[in-house]
Structure 1
Amino acid sequence: MSYSNAANFTNPSTFILLGIPGLEMSHVWISIPYSAIYIIAILGNFTILFIVKSEPSLHEPMYYFLCMLAVTDLVLSTSTLPKILSIFWFNCREIDFSACLTQMFFIHCFVGIESGIFVAMALDRYVAICHPLRYSTILTQLLMAKISLVVVLRSGIVALPYPFLARQWPYCGTNIISEPYCVHIAVVKLACADIRVSSYYGLFALFGVLGLDGIFIATSYMLIIRAIFRLPTKDARLKTFLTCGSHLCAIIIFYIPSVFSSLMYRFGQNVPLHVHVLITNMYLLVPPMLHPIIYGVRTRQIRDRLLWLVIHK
């Protein structure tokens, strides 16, 4: 199927998603790792949810936030990967304008929720290590519910302007998006207008959400490390620090690709397009697959429960 690169419209009825530009002939082969990523993400996160729900000893704040992370990863995967695979398998490149804006909102909203969950997990680690005797009195169910509500509302409010900003611009040139999904900056770049408002808001949201969350997490870990160095023995310090290992790994695989991808949209004009697209795909697709693996391998309670279920079956 051929698609025109230019059109005369102010509000497009559809956009065309290219998938991975320059690698169209390899889409079927590329779909294999993408399918594996989706299957592992779905199975892994549902397994985490099932284990935490079925094991009463895991009904603690840390695992409550882990369940929120699993649900967020499931939404992120499901809002992007089915459409990507339909492009790879069936060459189904068209996406309705409203559907594109809806996907845009879900992507930006749940990326923000995921970032907020990592802040909540950092708070959990801080209280567990710096105030262990007051852990249950500080992190009550009411406080966890309030934190969860703030995380969701903040992300929803910050993400809501994205589709409205994208809808207000006139699109009188190409309707081809060089991505396999709709994100704000990739869509508004197609507008034949001055999009500085959209660009500035995207940078504000990036640094106002991910940037501030990164500062909060870094501050928490500075206090955690200070408390760890006050422990009397090397073994105690190492054992305490390892309780943060899963959280630190999850933060690294989420924040670094996310920030790098957002900056590449604005400043990576000299990067080959297919390389750009593959890199930007990683921050949405890889973390939902790796998070359940990281927590399943590094968290003894989850690992023991999973082994018990397998042996029992």
Structure 2
Amino acid sequence: MLVLNNTNAQLLTFFLTGIPGLRAAQVWVSIPFCLLYVIALSGNSMILFVVLCEQNLHEPMYYFLSMLSAIDLSLSLCTLPTTLGVFWLEAREITLNACIAQMFFLHGFTFMESGVLLAMAFDRFVAICDPLRYATILTNARIAQIGISMLIRNFAVMLPVVLFVKRLSFCRAVALSHSYCYHVDLIQLSCTDNRINSILGLFALFSTTGFDCPCILISYVLIIRSVLNIASSEGRQKAFNTCISHISAVAIFYIPLISLSLVHRYGHSAPLFVHTIMANVFLLIPPVLNPIIYSVKTKQIRKAIVKVLIQKQQI
């Protein structure tokens, strides 16, 4: 077996995988995947468009929502070429450098989405617990600082991961478990010791989502405590309603992410199609459902979308 290191990585080709056991029917299986991608791309594009165009949506809550939509849009575009290429064209080959690049953006956008969800939790915390200072705390400059800090954090945690993957040696003609490049999946195919890579991957995970998730939980503990102090039941219900969309977004992001990480690290005996289904659920569910949730649950977004659609019909 030929072993290739980073000095001749351009010679190394990986093979992406569709759905194990359903290769003959992949064209038909790709139809729902394609539909989900269309929903994700159109839904998030619509959210970005209405937030940009509607002056009454130029508020911190909607700025963070537009960040979430931009990240979901990027995440979908990151995996769309390889996933549909495998399903439609049997284009399974990908070079190591292209694989590492996709892995960088895939995990980077995932970590950024986690950061945006934390920022949105902070937004709800300030709006409910300290509403009089909301406008002075969440200024446009501070929102920009939050966005830049997420970019810096993403680059800082992903750069060592990428550099140490480049140092690994791989065997020729190795097959990945998914239709895209995932860090744990990639390093497990190394012919050399990958313990440092595994540690770096875990550090990146815990320093981003592992930090963000407890902070979100703490913010909601404080929010619930503040809401319960509201005298009227109508006021309590109104306060909780402003958080429903964000709570849903947190759930559909973290539950598939945690499940996929557990399956990859501890579910080696699970059937291959379980890994594949979990991987695609993790990638597609948040970008597909987030625009739907915010369109249904957020009155201002719903009105803005209806207004845009009516204007298009009148043109």
1:30 Cα deviation after fit: 1.4
Root-mean-square deviation over aligned CA pairs:
1.3
1:311 Cα deviation after fit: 3.1
Aligned partners of 1:173 and 1:192 also within 8 Å? no
Aligned partners of 2:75 and 2:283 also within 8 Å? yes
1:272 corresponds in structure 2 to 271
1:291 corresponds in structure 2 to 290
1:201-240 alignment runs, 5 A limit? 201-240=200-239
Report the Cα distance in structure 1 between the residues aligned to 2:161 and 2:173, rounded to whole angstroms.
Answer: 20
1:132-143 alignment runs, 5 A limit? 132-143=131-142
1:7 Cα deviation after fit: 4.7
1:54-90 Cα deviation digits (max 9, x unpaired): 1111000111011111111111100102210011001
Task: Work out whether 1:18 is the aligned partner of 2:13.
Answer: no
1:50 Cα deviation after fit: 0.9
1:247 corresponds in structure 2 to 246
1:8 Cα deviation after fit: 4.6
1:147 corresponds in structure 2 to 146
1:249-295 Cα deviation digits (max 9, x unpaired): 00000011111111211101111011111112211122111111111
1:120-199 alignment runs, 5 A limit? 120-172=119-171, 174-199=173-198
1:67 corresponds in structure 2 to 66
Report the Cα distance in structure 1 between the residues aligned to 2:171 and 2:257, rounded to whole angstroms.
Answer: 30
User: Which residue of 6, 9, 12 corresponds with 2:4?
Assistant: 9
Secondary structure, in 3 states, of the residue corresponding to 2:179?
coil
Report the Cα distance in structure 1 between the residues aligned to 2:24 and 2:230, rounded to whole angstroms.
Answer: 58
Query: Matched residue pairs, number?
Result: 308
Aligned partners of 1:42 and 1:74 also within 8 Å? yes
Report the Cα distance in structure 2 between the residues aligned to 1:123 and 1:94, rounded to whole angstroms.
Answer: 43
1:79-94 alignment runs, 5 A limit? 79-94=78-93
1:3 corresponds in structure 2 to none
Secondary structure, in 3 states, of the residue corresponding to 1:69?
helix
Report the Cα distance in structure 2 between the residues aligned to 1:150 and 1:188, rounded to whole angstroms.
Answer: 28
Report the Cα distance in structure 2 between the residues aligned to 1:263 and 1:158, rounded to whole angstroms.
Answer: 21
Question: TM-score, normalized by length of structure 1?
Answer: 0.95
1:173 Cα deviation after fit: 5.6
Aligned partners of 1:104 and 1:162 also within 8 Å? no
1:309 Cα deviation after fit: 2.5
1:222 Cα deviation after fit: 0.7
1:57 corresponds in structure 2 to 56
Secondary structure, in 3 states, of the residue corresponding to 1:78?
helix
Aligned partners of 1:16 and 1:177 also within 8 Å? yes
1:201 Cα deviation after fit: 1.5
Secondary structure, in 3 states, of the residue corresponding to 2:171?
coil
Secondary structure, in 3 states, of the residue corresponding to 1:180?
coil
Aligned partners of 1:7 and 1:175 also within 8 Å? no
Aligned partners of 1:41 and 1:77 also within 8 Å? yes
1:166 Cα deviation after fit: 1.5
Report the Cα distance in structure 2 between the residues aligned to 1:103 and 1:79, rounded to whole angstroms.
Answer: 7
1:116 Cα deviation after fit: 0.2
The amino acid across from 2:203 in the alignment is F
Report the Cα distance in structure 2 between the residues aligned to 1:85 and 1:46, rounded to whole angstroms.
Answer: 20
Q: Which runs of 5+ in 1 are unaligned?
A: 1-5
Question: TM-score, normalized by length of structure 2?
Answer: 0.95
**Deviating 4+ runs (over 6 angstroms):** none
1:29 Cα deviation after fit: 1.4
Secondary structure, in 3 states, of the residue corresponding to 2:94?
strand
Secondary structure, in 3 states, of the residue corresponding to 1:95?
strand
Report the Cα distance in structure 2 between the residues aligned to 1:310 and 1:177, rounded to whole angstroms.
Answer: 42
